[in-house]
């Protein structure tokens, strides 16, 4: 019998087909928007103490799209200036037709971490107001004309439920609420440990062990994660396999003739991409009355390519130890001999349980990366 606080969501072995998304989707071709399905067409099924007692649990499910910052920027331009790309047009039609929600949470997290509070508030309130205008528009009219026109009933719902005079006030309250309740420490720790792993990956391949075999490079990277960092980062470890096999394409394409600033930018943007791919996992709880199934949407082709390397197999939580996803991997292009030497523990991702990293490690690794780029 499972103890209270212990549960898991089965994904890959779930008997249920998703009613929301069956595979990754691309909208538009000139300026595409990608919608990423990390559940591979499955509807997650919960196994907890209540399920074991009753044999069945009834709850509602709804889908939401986690907007990356570029997609939210496109929505803002559409609302503010009437500018719309082929990708955004198809994406918005999909959301409206399927009755999906959409979330600016990733934008909040990314830009609050990078900006001053005043700059964040100014930009976040405007973008949130734009998103609210899309959420409260006359949807049948939008599908017919492609124009955003307020739906008075939907608009009234937002205003009454928040005690606001207009959507700007609703947006302002949402942003203020985020600032008040936001805990930056977990995000900072996760991004820091991912940056460290990515830099180490590059250094092993390009300088420290550039003449060593792929399996030797992989084993050293795994040793670094488990011993030096004391944590298992499944997505970073799997990216390393492809990277050491020169099978990662333009992902993490850092070269010795690249500027230091460019190399640092690639590391940081890739760390944010991996963080965004981890976000859907935290939406799953033990005893749901309704469940939000989250799908990442992005304008970035590189993020879409990165996402193809992974799938969420299961989401576990035992004895209040925190969420631990079990991550499945795309092994296409990995030599058979290397596949056979990869341990199963690679599948468990403990990124959200990171507490701290050795002081000064990130700075030291960035200095080594600077030396490589100075050659």
At residue 191, the pLDDT reads 92
Same domain for 105 and 200, yes or no, is no
Q: Across the strands, what pairs with 27?
A: 33
Answer for the pair 68, 300: CB distance below 8 angstroms, yes or no.
Answer: yes
Strands of 290-298's sheet in order across: 25-27, 33-36, 290-298, 60-67, 101-103
Same domain for 224 and 77, yes or no, is no
At residue 7, the pLDDT reads 77
β-strands 101-103, 60-67 pairing: parallel
Please tell me the distance from the alpha carbon of residue 171 to that of residue 175, in angstroms, as a whole number: 6
Same domain for 74 and 158, yes or no, is yes
Please tell me the distance from the alpha carbon of residue 362 to that of residue 194, in angstroms, as a whole number: 10
Please tell me the distance from the alpha carbon of residue 210 to that of residue 302, in angstroms, as a whole number: 25
Answer for the pair 62, 293: CB distance below 8 angstroms, yes or no.
Answer: yes
Does any domain span residue 195? yes
Does any domain span residue 251? yes
> Which residues, including other chains, have CB under 8 Å from residue 184's CB and lie 6 or more apart?
112, 113
Q: How confident is the prediction along the chain (375 residues), in pLDDT tens digits per residue?
A: 445 567 788 899 898 899 999 999 999 999 999 999 999 999 988 776 666 656 566 678 899 999 999 999 999 999 999 999 999 999 999 999 999 999 999 999 999 998 899 999 999 999 999 999 999 999 999 999 999 999 999 999 999 999 999 999 999 999 999 999 887 777 888 899 999 999 999 999 999 999 999 999 999 999 999 899 888 898 999 999 999 988 776 778 888 888 999 999 999 999 999 999 999 987 776 666 778 899 999 999 889 888 988 889 988 877 666 678 888 888 888 888 888 887 665 577 877 777 677 888 999 999 999 999 876
Does any domain span residue 155? yes
At residue 52, the pLDDT reads 61
At residue 315, the pLDDT reads 86
Last residue of a domain, one of 132, 151, 182: 182
Same domain for 190 and 329, yes or no, is yes
Last residue of a domain, one of 182, 217, 250: 182
At residue 357, the pLDDT reads 79
Instruction: Supply φ then ψ for residue 203, to 5 degrees.
Output: -65, -40
At residue 1, the pLDDT reads 43
* Residue 103: domain span: 62-182
Does any domain span residue 322? yes
Q: Across the strands, what pairs with 17?
A: 42
pTM value is: 0.91
At residue 2, the pLDDT reads 46
Last residue of a domain, one of 151, 182, 213: 182
Does any domain span residue 102? yes
Same domain for 312 and 357, yes or no, is yes
Same domain for 191 and 258, yes or no, is yes
Please tell me the distance from the alpha carbon of residue 322 to that of residue 6, in angstroms, as a whole number: 9
What's the total number of domains in the chain? Answer: 2
At residue 80, the pLDDT reads 94
């Amino acid at each position: 019998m499972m103890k209270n606080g212990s549960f898991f969501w089965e994904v890959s072995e779930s008997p249920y087909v998703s009613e929301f998304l069956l595979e990754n989707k691309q909208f538009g071709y000139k300026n595409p928007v990608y919608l990423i399905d990390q559940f591979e067409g499955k509807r997650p099924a919960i196994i907890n103490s209540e399920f074991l007692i009753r044999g069945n649990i009834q709850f509602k499910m709804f889908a939401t799209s986690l907007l990356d910052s570029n997609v939210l920027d496109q929505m803002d331009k559409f609302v503010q200036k009437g500018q719309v790309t082929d990708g955004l047009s198809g994406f918005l039609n999909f959301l409206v037709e399927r009755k999906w929600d959409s979330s600016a949470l990733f934008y909040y997290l990314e830009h609050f971490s990078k900006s001053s509070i005043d700059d964040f508030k100014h930009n976040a309130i405007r973008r949130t107001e734009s998103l609210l205008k899309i959420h409260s528009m006359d949807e049948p009219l939008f599908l017919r004309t492609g124009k955003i026109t307020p739906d008075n009933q939907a608009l009234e719902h937002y205003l009454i439920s928040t005690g606001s005079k207009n959507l700007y006030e609703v947006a302002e309250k949402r942003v203020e609420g985020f600032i008040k309740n936001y805990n930056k420490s977990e995000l900072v720790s996760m991004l820091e440990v991912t940056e460290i792993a990515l830099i180490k990956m590059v250094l092993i391949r390009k300088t420290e062990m550039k003449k060593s075999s792929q399996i030797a490079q992989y084993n050293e990277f795994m040793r670094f994660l488990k011993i030096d960092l004391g944590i298992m980062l499944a997505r970073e470890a799997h990216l390393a396999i492809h990277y050491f096999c020169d099978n990662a394409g333009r992902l993490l394409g850092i070269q010795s003739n690249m500027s230091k600033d460019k190399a640092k930018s690639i590391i940081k943007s890739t760390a944010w991409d991996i963080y965004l791919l981890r976000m859907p996992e935290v939406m799953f709880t033990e005893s749901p009355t309704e469940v939000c199934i989250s799908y990442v949407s992005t304008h970035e082709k590189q993020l879409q390519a990165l996402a193809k390397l992974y799938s969420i197999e299961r989401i576990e939580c035992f004895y209040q130890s925190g969420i631990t996803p079990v991550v499945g991997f795309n092994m296409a292009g990995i030599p058979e001999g290397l596949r056979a030497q990869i341990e199963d523990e690679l599948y468990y991702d403990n990124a959200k349980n990171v507490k701290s990293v050795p002081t000064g490690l990130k700075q030291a690794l960035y200095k080594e990366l600077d030396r490589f780029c100075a050659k």
